[in-house]
Structure 1
Amino acid sequence: MSGSNDSNTAASDSPRENASESSREDDVLVKRAMGGDEQAFSELVDKYQRALYFHILKMIKDKEQVNDLVQEAFVKAFDNLNTYSTNYAFSTWLYRIATNHTIDYLRKKKLKTLSIDEPVKTRDGEMQMQLEDESAGTDRNIIRKQRQNIVQNAIDELPPKYRKVIEMRHMEEKSYQEIADVLDLPLGTVKAHIFRARELLYKSLKDKRDKF
């Protein structure tokens, strides 16, 4: 009898034992998505896009950037579906990816906004930061130029409808609504095209990471 009780206890401790119907539906969609079913991808995006938007909005206040981070989080999640364990809810896994991605963005943004021209305050007063004039700077410029070329080549290889929206979004820095107005497309279509373009770019550049 004790063995039976232990078995029942172990089963009830399973993280998915009491999974909701919604969560079980996610499992089916994830399985289809892993098999390459694009409709399953779309259904998962439709289901969680709004909730993920407000989740990230709590962390940053730039609404345009929130849209980008949401789409980037989906791309990262879909590209790593093979690491997802059905022992846990897909929504939990997705939110964790979105949170970590947003934290990484905030960390990088903070580093970029630190000005080397601003004086540093110390107990002895203010002092200017001194940077060595090294030839390594030239090497970094060359590497940065190479990276830009690699990214540009990947963009050039995109289908025209995806290449156009990516260029307008990231090179011309237009908002989603501005792109929709210029191209005379529904806002949802613009977002979908940008999402797909980023997904294709991510897959293309993933094989070139050693050059970054």
Structure 2
Amino acid sequence: MDIVVKKIVREVKRGNQDAFAELVDLYKDKVFHIAYRMLGNAHEAQDVSQEAFLRAYTNIESYDENRKFSTWIFRIATNLSIDRIRRKKPDFHLEDQVSGTDNLDYHSQFAADIDLPEDQVVKLEMQQWIQDEIMALPPKYRSAIILKYLEDLSLKEISEVMNLPVATVKTRIHRGREALRKRLGQA
């Protein structure tokens, strides 16, 4: 994968816009996921994702091909998300999904071999509760927790994304986990 990505990046550096579209296709879901987990809002996550790719495109010459492209784009998305959190303004959209209606669509009217609606509601409430508690963590702990436990990155990858020493990343994960444990225990 890394060899293929390096070839694509070289094409982008030569001005091939189709090659950049390939990069976007490869990483758009992960970048959106990171932004969504950080911000808790799909519209803001879309904005941050688009801005992350725009910045990657305009700064592609500064990308060091000896490093993983995924780490570089994840760092951009994480930093943009943290910036957005810092200058947070209420952001509401009429199209925002109402909490608890994630599974309601045309297909939900048909019988299926899935959990009972009550079980789904409990599961959704639990997921939302945990997401809310993660959102309440300070951004420096939130980003470390999200990258470690929700995006499943290694400590080394997280240190590259956050541009911090591995020891600092370990400390932030530990402190974030402790803060989350206390928050979840109080509820």
Give the TM-score category using the shorter length.
0.3 to 0.5
TM-score by length of 2: 0.47
TM-score by length of 1: 0.42
